[in-house]
C-alpha cells in the first residue's frame, strides 16, 4: 500500500448521513419558521429610506446619538460607525421632508459642529424593484447551475447540487431572520457568493465520485461515494479554513459597514462545506446512482473512438 493511500482518512460519512439529514431538517424547519414568523430585517436598500453620513471632530458615543434621534421621533433609526469613531452612518425610514430640510434638522439635533457629508434617498419603489431583482438574480443563478451540472455530470448530480444550494441559502437566510441582522444589498451579494462557493466545493466532490465510479468494479455506491468524500476531505478543509481566516478578519476588522456581508459569508462557508459532504452526496445516493449512469452512451462512445 502506498504512502498516499495511507494518508487518506477513512471517516464513515455516508454511515452517518441519517443523523446529518435529521440535523439539516431541524435547521431548515427552524429557518423557515423564523422567516415566516419574523421575516427579514430589510435595510433601506429594499424598504426605502434616507442614508446620512455624519462627521465629528472627536469620537462620538453611538448610544447618545440613538437616544437623541429617538427623542426626535425618528423611529427605527439605525446608527453605526463608518470607518472610525469620528464618523457615523445614520439610516432613517422614508421621510416626508426634503433632503435639505432633513439635513438641517439633523444638524440641529446633533450639534452645530457636525459635518453632513452625504445624504442619499432610496424611494420605496426603488426598494421594491431591488427586492424583486434580487430574488430573480438568485433564481436565475440556481436555474443556470441546474442546467450546467446536468450537462456536466448527470441529472441526479444536478438535483443533488441544487438540494445543497437551497439548503445553504435557506439556513443562511434563517440565521439572519432569527437574530434580526439587517439584510441589505451587500448581504444579498454575499448570498450569491455563497452559492458560487458551495457549488465549487460540490463540483470537486462530484468529479471525484464520478472518477471512482468509472474506475471501480463490483463496489457498492455508498462505499464509492464515501471514498470520494475522504479523498477530497483535505482539499475541502484547507479551502474552508483559508476562506474563513479572511472572513474572520473582515468580521472583526472590517467595520460595521460590511458586518452583515462578513456574517453571511461565514455562515454560508460553514454550511456550504457541510452540505457538500452530506447533503449533495446523500441526495444522489438516495436517488439510486450507479456506475451504469456514469458510462457514456453508444453515440458518445463512437464519437470518442473516431477522435484523432
- The pLDDT assigned to 124 comes to 61
| Residue 170 and residue 275 in one domain | yes
139 and 179 both lie in a single domain: yes
Which residues of the chain, if any, have pLDDT below 50?
1-4, 298-305, 307-308
Instruction: Out of 68, 99, 122, pick the residue that ends a domain.
Output: 122
Q: CA 275 from chain center: how many Å?
A: 12
The predicted structure's pLDDT at residue 134: 72
Domain assignment present for 8? no
State whether 115 and 230 are in the same domain. Answer: no
Burial 123-151 (b: 16+ CB within 10 A, else e): eeeebeebbeebeeebeebbeebbeebbe
Same domain flag for 234 and 137? yes
In this structure, the number of other CB atoms found within 10 A of the CB of residue 167 comes to: 24
Angle (nearest 5°) at CA 179 between 177 and 182:
65
State whether 93 and 162 are in the same domain.
Answer: no
Cβ-based burial of 50 (10 A; exposed 0-12, middle 13-18, buried ≥19): buried
For residue 221, the surrounding DSSP H or E stretch is helix 221-231
Please state the domain count of the chain. Answer: 2
How many C-alpha atoms does 98 have within 13 Å on its Cβ side? 2
> What phi and psi, each to the nearest 5 degrees, are found at residue 53?
-100, 125
Based on the fold, state whether residues 259 and 226 are members of the same structural domain. Answer: yes
Q: Are residues 228 and 197 in the same domain?
A: yes
Cα separation, 138 vs 132, whole angstroms: 10
Predicted confidence at residue 136, as pLDDT, reads 82
- Give the pLDDT confidence score for residue 159 in this predicted structure: 86
CA atoms within a 13 Å half-sphere pointing along the CA-CB vector of 273: 18
* Cα atoms found within 13 Å of the Cα of residue 301, Cβ hemisphere only: 5
In terms of Cα–Cα distance, which of 21, 24, 17, 11 is closest to 232?
A: 11
Task: Specify if 133 maps to a domain.
Answer: yes
By residue range, what is the domain housing residue 168?
Answer: 13-40+126-296
Instruction: List CB contacts of 111: < 8 A, sequence separation 6 or more.
Output: none
**Residues 55 and 79 both lie in one domain:** yes
Q: How far apart are the first and last CA of the chain?
A: 37
Domain presence at residue 308? no
Predicted pLDDT of residue 4: 47
Q: Residue 20 domain-assigned?
A: yes
> Same domain for 59 and 109?
yes
CATH of the domain at 261: 1.20.1640.10
Co-location of 253 and 180 in the same domain: yes
Q: Evaluate whether residue 271 is within a structural domain.
A: yes
For residue 112, what is the domain's CATH number? Answer: 3.30.70.3400
Of 65, 99, 122, the one marking the end of a domain is: 122
Q: For residue 305, is it within any domain? A: no
- Closest by CA position to 247, among listed 236, 231, 258: 258
Which of the 8 DSSP states describes residue 258?
A: G
Q: Do residue 83 and residue 179 come from a single domain? A: no
Instruction: Output the pLDDT for position 126.
Output: 58
The span from the CA of 270 to the CA of 154, in Å, is: 26
pLDDT of residue 307: 45
Q: What is the pLDDT of residue 125?
A: 60
Domain end residue (candidates: 122, 142, 172): 122
Is 53 in the same domain as 92?
yes
Amino acid at each position: 500500500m502506498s504512502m498516499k493511500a495511507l494518508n487518506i482518512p477513512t471517516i464513515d460519512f455516508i454511515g452517518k448521513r441519517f443523523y446529518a439529514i435529521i440535523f439539516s431538517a431541524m435547521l431548515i424547519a427552524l429557518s423557515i419558521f423564523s422567516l415566516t414568523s419574523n421575516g427579514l430585517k430589510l435595510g433601506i436598500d429594499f424598504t426605502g429610506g434616507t442614508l446620512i453620513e455624519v462627521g465629528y471632530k472627536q469620537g462620538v458615543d453611538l448610544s447618545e446619538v440613538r437616544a437623541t434621534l429617538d427623542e426626535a421621533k425618528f423611529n427605527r433609526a439605525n446608527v453605526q460607525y463608518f470607518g472610525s469613531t469620528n464618523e457615523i452612518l445614520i439610516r432613517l425610514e422614508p421621510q416626508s421632508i426634503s433632503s435639505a430640510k432633513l439635513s438641517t434638522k439633523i444638524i440641529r439635533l446633533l450639534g452645530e459642529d457636525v459635518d453632513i457629508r452625504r445624504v442619499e434617498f432610496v424611494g420605496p419603489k426603488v426598494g421594491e424593484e431591488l427586492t424583486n431583482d434580487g430574488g430573480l438574480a438568485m433564481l436565475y443563478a440556481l436555474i443556470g447551475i441546474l442546467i450546467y451540472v446536468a450537462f456536466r455530470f448527470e441529472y441526479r448530480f444536478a438535483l443533488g447540487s441544487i438540494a445543497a444550494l437551497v439548503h445553504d441559502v435557506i439556513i443562511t437566510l434563517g440565521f439572519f431572520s432569527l437574530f434580526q441582522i439587517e439584510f441589505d444589498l451587500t448581504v444579498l451579494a454575499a448570498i450569491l457568493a455563497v452559492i458560487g462557493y458551495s457549488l465549487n466545493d460540490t463540483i470537486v466532490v462530484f468529479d471525484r465520485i464520478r472518477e471512482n465510479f468509472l474506475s471501480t468494479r463490483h463496489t457498492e455506491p455508498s462505499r464509492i461515494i464515501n471514498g470520494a468524500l475522504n479523498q477530497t476531505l483535505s482539499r475541502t478543509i484547507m479551502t474552508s479554513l483559508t476562506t474563513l481566516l479572511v472572513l474572520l478578519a473582515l468580521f472583526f476588522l472590517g467595520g460595521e459597514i460590511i458586518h452583515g456581508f462578513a456574517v453571511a459569508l461565514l455562515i454560508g462557508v460553514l454550511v456550504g462545506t457541510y452540505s457538500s459532504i452530506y447533503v449533495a452526496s446523500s441526495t444522489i445516493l438516495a436517488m439510486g446512482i450507479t456506475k451504469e449512469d456514469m458510462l457514456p452512451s453508444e453515440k458518445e462512445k463512437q464519437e470518442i473512438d473516431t477522435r484523432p
